[in-house]
Amino acid sequence: MAKKEISLLQLVLSLTLITLVAAVALAAVYIVTKVPIEQVQSAKKTDAIAKVLPHFEGTTTRIAMMPEEGKDSVILYMAYNDSELFGAAVETYTDKAFSGRFSIMVGFDKEGVITGTEILQANETPGLGDKIDKNKSDFSLQFVGKNPQNYSLIVKKDGGDVDAITAATISSRAFCDAVSRAYQTYLKAKEENHE
């Protein structure tokens, strides 16, 4: 009986040691990759700001605001040429996507006209919902040049102005939700900052 107890004890000690080595290895990988991942994400946001605010060469001020509807803050990069408002790049999100949450960057000029959109993170269904990305379809291009004040950010199926992606209405609705959240937050920021 004592021999079985020793074998069990050796097994438990061996598994504990293996678990500790694996935990240390995972922690080391996390530490080594954390900074490069943050740098890539930061560069992606900087690139997205440049794409959604074409012809902008001034400075930006970062503001985090809680939207009327939403669980997390929306990040606004208020864009100024000298001290005059040029517009804003708004990092927004939706939780209504088919695959959960996705985030996009939406550009607005000072009047609120949409100047561009860029996908920051999305996991929509390949070949269907992933067509929200302008590299995969023209869906997002229909928003450029539109002012949500007189362009309903709702899919046509629900009574709005947006042409949905065929067989991906949920992703289309989610994209509209994210753009609408960006627009409402931009208006609130302009009002609070007396722009």
Cα(172)–Cα(58) distance, rounded to whole angstroms?
A: 33
Per-residue pLDDT of the chain (195 residues; tens, 9 = 90+): 455 666 888 888 899 999 999 999 999 888 888 887 777 777 788 888 899 999 888 888 999 988 877 788 999 999 998 889 999 999 999 888 777 788 999 999 999 999 999 989 877 666 666 778 887 888 889 999 999 999 999 999 999 999 888 877 888 899 999 999 999 999 999 888 756
**C-alpha separations of 104 from 2, 58, 126 in Å:** 63, 22, 17
How are strands ordered across the β-sheet holding 59-65?
Answer: 59-65, 74-81, 84-97, 100-109, 114-121
Is the pTM of the predicted complex or chain greater than 0.85? no
Where exactly are the structural domains of the chain? 49-192
User: In sequence order, what are the beta bridge partners of 116?
Assistant: 107
